[in-house]
Amino acid sequence: MFAGQDFLLMVRADRDLDLNDPIVANSQTGNPTTLRFTGELATGDQVFAAGPGQEQLNGTQNVFNIIANPYQAQIDIHDVLNDASTTGVQVDQVWVYDPTTAGAFGSYVLIEFDSSGNATTTPAAIVCDPNPVNEFLQPNQSMFVQNLDVESPNPSITIKESHKTNSSSTTTVFSAPNNQELSVQLNLYTSDNDLRDGVIVRMGDNFDDAITEEDAIKFPNYLENLSTNNNGTLLTSDRRVLDNANENVQLHLTNYTESGYVFKININNPDNKPIYLIDNYLGTQTLLDATYIEHNFTADQSVPASIAADRFELQFNNSTLSNDSFETSTTGIQVYPNPVENVVNNSKGQFNGEWESLNIYDIAGKLVISLDKLDQSSELNVDMSNLSQGIYILKVDTSNGQFQEKLLKK
């Protein structure tokens, strides 16, 4: 064993525990186990490299290497990656395991650095939540780095005394920098506020729809896994080009273990473009029109579509949001007022077809109003006075098609 060597341990705990019966083993609680380190503290430069005599790192292109913090002090990851001695690896992203999320299982967190050194973590704990993963690698903590996608990258990383930091910001949450880049970060929580996973999608003129070194692959977790699906490749950080066409980004959510979840969503939308979260199971779309939104949903293990990997997607529209009444591009129907106090009006406007059905769902997907024998007058008035304050989804079927709109009940 030497300083900086990485380990994945299974701690057996108390020898009095019976591991032969899985049912008994999973319900037993043993005495606390204490791990102690002995020996001298590591000091001075610590070199991790590939090649003869330095076999700590795999020198194959595009593979991942795990680097452990050799010191009993925090080190600044950005300083390590951008040191002149670091070669052959990606310097703008690493993966760190967070043992405090997903119950007792933990999950991987992607840390990305922009050109100014600002860090973004995905998934990211919301401001009031504790999250020990940030740009500082803790004592006894490791990180995964990826070799460059070139032949014989010859990776080498030297962790130096100068990389140590005495920062006390061990629970700081780093959000995306305030710039003109459009981004949506979805953090998946259980209904009892346990962070399970997260994904971030960025749209920009200088990005590429093809997978490049700017994107970050998905590291699998024991429990829930949330990512995008970019032509069969799962990504935690997905950059797409922002052009004149509408863009749909398929999300990939697997291994549902709970019945209730919350997407806690951070949005940076400087041009105020319409962004929707599409639920293909419920047939609903939620307009992401604020900088922070919580979206509750349920999963039913007995209904395959409810736990489908492709249940959710993001839709980026090329138009610009306004505060006027909502008008569909296919029917000409107008919905007002919105927010709603008591009655929401659905006007045919230029639409000359027939109403077929009208349904209103709460944000969790529960049907709260259903009308299927509709008066064919030019305006439908729906009484929402008995509904509590909150967000609802209006879904109207007509002879010319279907449209949906998010309603805010005051």
Q: What is the pLDDT of residues 254-287, one digit of tens each?
A: 999 999 999 999 999 888 888 889 988 887 778 8
List the domains of the chain with CATH numbers. 37-165 (no CATH), 182-316 (no CATH), 326-409 (2.60.40.3080)
pLDDT tens-digit series, residues 35-70: 777 778 888 988 888 866 665 788 898 999 999 888
- Whether the pLDDT of residue 177 is over 50: the answer is no
Q: Are 404 and 354 in contact (CB under 8 A)?
A: no
Give the pLDDT confidence score for residue 119 in this predicted structure.
87
Name the percent of the chain lying above pLDDT 90.
32
- Strands 233-241 and 195-204: what pairing? parallel
- Which residue has better confidence, 366 or 170? 366
Whether 330 has a pLDDT exceeding 90, the answer reads no
298 versus 350: which is more confidently predicted? 298
pLDDT at 356: 84
Q: What is the mean predicted confidence (pLDDT) over 74-92?
A: 93
Asked whether residue 400 carries a pLDDT value surpassing 50, the answer given is yes
pLDDT digits (tens, 9 = 90+) for 89-130: 999 999 998 877 777 678 899 999 988 888 888 987 644 344
Which of these ranges, 159-163, 310-314, 388-392, has the smallest mean pLDDT? 388-392
Q: Is the pLDDT of residue 227 over 90?
A: yes
pLDDT greater than 50 at residue 314: yes
- Which of 23-32, 293-302, 360-369 has the highest mean predicted lDDT (pLDDT)? 293-302
Q: What percent of the chain has pLDDT over 70?
A: 82
pLDDT over threshold 50, residue 171: no
- Please tell me the predicted confidence (pLDDT) of residue 36: 78
Single-letter residue type at 272:
N
Residue 130 is predicted with a pLDDT of 46
